[in-house]
Amino acid sequence: MTIYSTMPMEIVFEGISQQPGPYVDVQVGDVRLQIEAVSPGIGRIVRLMDGPLDAYLRPELSPGTLVAYGPSML
């Protein structure tokens, strides 16, 4: 792979060796989400794993959105 960039290589590859946080799979209604734990009971949506097609258009389920999760949501 070749990368053409005017930015310094240190900036382009910053954080490449860091592993992403622990992910949790959560079922919310008929949608299965992959969430990255931010703090206890709060997570950031990483991606939608499974669900109806219209779930991908719902803004509250877009990646990067913070959601509450816990035993009541599972």
| pLDDT 10s digits, 10-56 | 888 887 887 777 888 999 889 999 999 888 889 999 999 999 999 99
Q: What pTM does this model have?
A: 0.68
Of 43, 49, 50, 45, the closest CA to residue 61 belongs to: 45
Whose structure tokens read 């999760």?
69
Q: Phi/psi at 10 (nearest 5 deg)?
A: -65, -35
CB 66 within 8 A of CB 44: yes
